[in-house]
Structure 1
Amino acid sequence: MEMPSSTASYQPVTVKKPWYKQLYFWVLVAIVLGILVGWLWPSTGEAMEPVGTTFITAMKMLIGPIVFLTIVGGIASVADLKKVGLTGIKALTYFQVGTILALLTGLVAINIFRLGDGVNADVASLESETTDSANKLIVAGEEKKWWEFITHLVPDSVFGPFVEGDILQIIFLAVIFGVAINAVGAIAEPIQATVERLTAVVFKVLSFIMKLAPLGAFGAMAFAIGKYGVGTLTSLGSLILLFYATSIFFVVVFLGSVMAFLRLNIFRMLGFFKEELLLILGTSTAEPALPGLMRKLEYAGIKKTTVGLVVPTGYSFNLDGAAIYLSLAALYIAQATNTELSIGQQLGLLAVMLLTSKGAAGVAGGGFIALTATLSTLGTVPVVGIMLIFGIDKFMSECRAMVNFIGNAVATLFIAKWNKELDVDRARRVFAGEILPPPEGEVENDFDMEVLEHEPADKHHRAGEVLSLNKECGSRSIEHERLDTTSSGNSSRSS
């Protein structure tokens, strides 16, 4: 009799979670509750600041290790290092083109609507109204040079970037270590295996922290509304509205065109990333959503090497939302302070922004510092003019971060297509919400569905096999006993 195979294929059962059990629903509820608490009880809303900042800090704690381990593991496992270099060059090229388009979009929008005309802001009075927190950002921006992001790439120590959370320096270290492990060869295989194991552990820790996302979103939103008030939204509502409308236009028209070229639907992609987008809306920063972006892109069928290199680099160099904000804000301040800028000066402003936007990547108040650095470098627009938008910057940061996030998702898909690595059919099905097995067993989809744990499932599967074997062995034992009895009976009669 043929023995049952112990290696029979087994697929874990996957069922869609009800909408009320999914993370995005509870994050959305938390955001609404945070707005109500901050609006109705401002002092209570302000007191919620530690809740939001603790969650964001916990997420940022893992960003450095995730970026480092992902890049090192990806580069170390690649057979052709030249391909990694080409992928980096392609990504940087795409980032620059995307940033230029975003800057031009903001520039055209503010030139058409000219919201700063008629404000007639007095520079002298703005200087007297400068707060301590705003003054610190102004000083930081004035001291920052456009070329600093190049020299800043090399860290002072190996552990410094992880302590300070400097993503650019972590990427630099990760690329060097990944290339070194790849170049050493077989002797570094234990290190590569350790990197893979550490990556799995860090992502498991991340899954624990993500369960607190609704609490973090509630605290951050309650504090923002309680601190700055709904009145701040209405005072410069036209500028906020223009920024959001321009950002939506950029996402739908420009990024949507890139997705159409890839034969994918941008709206379905946005639905696929709804949890991450709501998390960004609640916390006003894109950093907590970075791990989810990387894992979901891998699940959509993009190679881990491409995701690990393009996404972290894009978080520093592909800031479409920040680019729109910079051009809108700079021209608004110029118009509000009656500073006339020619077309040539505006284009020069964009050229400086291409560099200053990278220099402030990953820095607290980075958008404001980049804006200050741009105005200081140009010298024609008064730097203290940033006080005109200082109060509403908090409410523009959500949109800024979401556009940055969406831009990096589209960029990674485009680079994967450029490398001929994108499984368009799989990506289309995943974006549509179809449940698929992980590609090549690399990732588990634990984002919007319930996946049974492999160990218990395997145990039940193996238990069935053991029972089958026991039954078979039992039947064989009985058969042997019958044969023995028959043979002994025959022997007795013969004797």
Structure 2
Amino acid sequence: MSHRSVSVSSNTPSSAPGESAAPTAPAASTGPKRRTGLSRVPFWAQILLGLVLGALLGWVARSGDVAWLSTALDRIGGTFVQLLKLAVGPLVFFAITVSITNLRNVSGAARLAGRTLLWFMATSLIAVGIGLTIGLLTNPGAGTGLSPNDGARPEQAGSWLDFLTGIIPTDVITPFTELNVLQIVFMAAVAGIAALRIGERAAPLLSFSEAALALLQKALWWVIRLAPLGTLGLIGRAIDQYGWNLIGQYATFTADVYIGSLLVMFGVYPLLLALAARVSPLQFFRGAWPAIQLGFVSRSSVGTMPVTQKAIERLGVPREYASFAAPFGATTKMDGCAAVYPALAAIFVAEIFGVSLGIGDYVLIAFVSVIGSAATAGLTGATVMTTLTLSTLGLPLEGVGLLLAIDPVLDMIRTATNVAGQAAVPVVVAARERILDLDAFRSARSFDIADADADAGTGTGAASAGGTGGAEGRRGGEPAPATA
């Protein structure tokens, strides 16, 4: 038990054991900050307001051919996405590096990481099965009026050779300038493992990495608070550019993606939580909803990562494990973008181009979805994963051009599904490893992002406040057994 206590206290800001509670005292005495004006409106309501206003302004811009309004919506939405992407490279690098080194404080860290990956793969396999089933039942490419001539070959295409050889960067700068997240993850993993191997000599580097990560997370929280305005611009731009007629052309395909994603989010994950983790799915969604909601709006798993991690910790997952699972999931766990969607996209493109798919092709789709999901890398859009799937099946890459037109509308539900899975799997793993704090899980509630950024990067939160922090979780009211 003493080892566990040291593991928790090593992550607190104070160096003196007797002063460990000091940093939290001011927050307790001052209470919540007083809100004024728009900040009084709950964040979810601000998002909804942005959604409605964006749809209305997009319709006005398109129907009235209002050029200045179209430009304004494009600038607002584009600026929000650009701000999210600005922090992606360094955020992923420092998050992965710090999360790997934090695993040294977790008993059975290798087993936790391995089981997390196995659950990621298992749920991806289920998700791609749902996508294939829906596609085979509905024939999304039939009756659209689209033809191969409507497609255009994408500027960038993924292949297995590119995927395998592209993991290793040629230099340390280009992955950040070109935002190659997969290469950034590779470098961060190497740095984290190397830091663990050299021990105390890496302490200055780890201190810098933790400080840089806290700074980036704090800055990203400020960007996240702009999500209502970003929603207005992104939705407005989508409706202005594409209109409702385009959605009508892709009605079956759009419905399939949404139905498949919703089945995974509200069918597969609740079953796993109830049967494998033996916890309440409803309670899970209460705690994870802010992250799922932001994923829907931002269309970026990496941009949502700080909110996802906070939600996971509030649900009782130990901080040390959550700090690994959140960035790991944000870059590899893509049930929406890399499982449901590629399966449906392959069937859609095959029907448009008159190509028959057999059992072997469906097995290949499942293989690509489970193994190649890291190529999606948590950014907006799933073009790389789609081209990887189509090229593996020998389908024309011009089919990607058919899908890009409707992509922003589909990407919202895909990313929300991604984020839900990135939060659900750590809860399942923590529960099965008996390190989930059930008291924290049962008391978790949806949090307002306007308040949650107050302690971003400071090391405070539900997990540490509850004293569990990866050291002493409870399942069924009993202490977790010590593991090697």
Q: Is 1:313 aligned with 2:338? A: no
Q: Alpha-carbon deviations, 1:196-223, whole Å to 9, x = none?
A: 3333322222233233222222111111
Aligned residue number for residue 180 of structure 2: 166
Question: 1:417, CA displacement in angstroms?
Answer: 2.8
Q: Is 1:182 aligned with 2:196? A: yes
Q: Is 1:302 aligned with 2:317? A: yes
User: Given the superposition, is the C-alpha separation of residues 218 and 276 from structure 1 closer, same or farther in structure 2, using an over 3 Å criterion?
Assistant: farther
Aligned residue number for residue 70 of structure 1: 95
What is the alpha-carbon distance in structure 2 between the residues aligned to residue 28 and residue 304 of structure 1?
A: 31
- Code of the residue aligned with 1:70 in structure 2: it is A
- Taking only aligned residues, the RMSD between alpha carbons, in angstroms, comes to 3.3
Task: Say which of 34, 46, 59 aligns to 2:54.
Answer: 34
The equivalences for 1:32-431 within 5 A come to 32-42=52-62, 43=67, 44-79=69-104, 83-118=108-143, 122=147, 126-127=148-149, 129-130=150-151, 134-135=152-153, 137=154, 139-141=155-157, 144-260=158-274, 261-322=276-337, 323-362=339-378, 365=381, 367-379=382-394, 381-431=395-445
Q: Alpha-carbon deviations, 1:413-448, whole Å to 9, x = none?
A: 223334432212212211477999x9xx93247xxx
Paired residues of 1:302 and 1:413 also in contact (CA < 8 A): yes
- Code of the residue aligned with 1:61 in structure 2: it is L
- Code of the residue aligned with 2:340 in structure 1: it is I
- Code of the residue aligned with 1:220 in structure 2: it is L
What is the alpha-carbon distance in structure 1 between the residues aligned to residue 129 and residue 180 of structure 2?
A: 28
Question: 1:388, CA displacement in angstroms?
Answer: 4.2
Out of 29-38 and 66-75, give the one that drifted further.
66-75
User: Given the superposition, is the C-alpha separation of residues 398 and 199 from structure 1 closer, same or farther in structure 2, using an over 3 Å criterion?
Assistant: same
Paired residues of 1:94 and 1:411 also in contact (CA < 8 A): yes
Paired residues of 1:34 and 1:218 also in contact (CA < 8 A): yes
What is the alpha-carbon distance in structure 2 between the residues aligned to residue 120 and residue 230 of structure 1?
A: 16
Q: Between Structure 1 and Structure 2, whose CA radius of gyration is higher?
A: 1
User: Given the superposition, is the C-alpha separation of residues 444 and 80 from structure 1 closer, same or farther in structure 2, using an over 3 Å criterion?
Assistant: closer
- Code of the residue aligned with 1:343 in structure 2: it is I
Residue ranges of structure 1 left out of the alignment (5+ in a row): 446-495
What is the alpha-carbon distance in structure 1 between the residues aligned to residue 144 and residue 81 of structure 2?
A: 37
User: Given the superposition, is the C-alpha separation of residues 38 and 347 from structure 1 closer, same or farther in structure 2, using an over 3 Å criterion?
Assistant: same
User: Given the superposition, is the C-alpha separation of residues 23 and 217 from structure 1 closer, same or farther in structure 2, using an over 3 Å criterion?
Assistant: same
What is the alpha-carbon distance in structure 1 between the residues aligned to residue 205 and residue 170 of structure 2?
A: 24
User: Given the superposition, is the C-alpha separation of residues 318 and 432 from structure 1 closer, same or farther in structure 2, using an over 3 Å criterion?
Assistant: closer
User: Given the superposition, is the C-alpha separation of residues 163 and 304 from structure 1 closer, same or farther in structure 2, using an over 3 Å criterion?
Assistant: farther
Q: Alpha-carbon deviations, 1:7-38, whole Å to 9, x = none?
A: 99943454598894332221221121111100
User: Given the superposition, is the C-alpha separation of residues 210 and 88 from structure 1 closer, same or farther in structure 2, using an over 3 Å criterion?
Assistant: same
User: Given the superposition, is the C-alpha separation of residues 289 and 268 from structure 1 closer, same or farther in structure 2, using an over 3 Å criterion?
Assistant: same
What is the alpha-carbon distance in structure 1 between the residues aligned to residue 342 and residue 80 of structure 2?
A: 28
TM-score (norm 2): 0.78
What is the alpha-carbon distance in structure 2 between the residues aligned to residue 184 and residue 396 of structure 1?
A: 45
Task: Say which of 430, 443, 448 aligns to 2:460.
Answer: 443
Question: 1:412, CA displacement in angstroms?
Answer: 2.0
Question: 1:363, CA displacement in angstroms?
Answer: 6.1
SS at match of 2:406: helix
Q: Alpha-carbon deviations, 1:71-98, whole Å to 9, x = none?
A: 3333334447994433332222222212
Number of equivalent positions: 425
Q: Alpha-carbon deviations, 1:359-397, whole Å to 9, x = none?
A: 3435664x2332233222222x44434444442222111
Residue ranges of structure 2 left out of the alignment (5+ in a row): 1-17, 463-484
Paired residues of 1:67 and 1:308 also in contact (CA < 8 A): no
Out of 423-432 and 15-24, give the one that drifted further.
15-24
TM-score (norm 1): 0.76
